[in-house]
Structure formats: C-alpha cells, structure tokens
Amino acid sequence: MKKLIGILSLFAVLALCACTQNSKSSAPAEVPAAVEAPEATPVEEVQYVEHVCSDKCTAEGCYHAHGEKDHVCDESCPTEL
C-alpha cells in the first residue's frame, strides 16, 4: 500500500511539473483587442393580410394560410412570403 501511494505521489508531482512548464513564458502576456459586435441588420417588417375564410376553415377554427395574420409557420411553409 505504501508503494502504491509513493508511485501515485510521484506521478502527481511529474504531472504538476509538466503542466506548469508550458504556462511559464518570459514574454509578457498579450491582451486581446476588444471585439466589437457586428451591426445588427434592420429587420424588414412584413405586412400580413387579413384572414378570409375558405373551404379549409371548420367550425372548430379557421385555417390561416401563410402570410395571413395569426398564421403559425411550420416546415411546410415556404421560406419567403
């Protein structure tokens, strides 16, 4: 048991020495320049049309087509209006 603790202690010391060798340097540390956030591009406001009931509307609720007010997009919707 004493041999195991001695060997583990030796490995710990060697690992500590190996880790600290790379962190020591004679050159002063450079401070990275401040990174500015890119300017936000203006978001184009989309004009939605009012809903007009169609044959897809039911008594439980209306079917809102893509581009109509209250429409919720899903994967079947085109990417652009």
The whole-angstrom separation of Cα 10 and Cα 2 is 12
Domain around 53: 48-73
65 domain residue, yes or no: yes
The 10s digit of each residue's pLDDT in 37-62 is 777 777 667 788 888 888 888 888 88
33 domain residue, yes or no: no
Residues 6 or more apart whose Cβ sits within 8 Å of residue 49: 67, 68, 69
pLDDT at 20: 63
pTM over 0.85: no
pLDDT at 17: 78
Count of domains observed in the chain = 1
61 domain residue, yes or no: yes
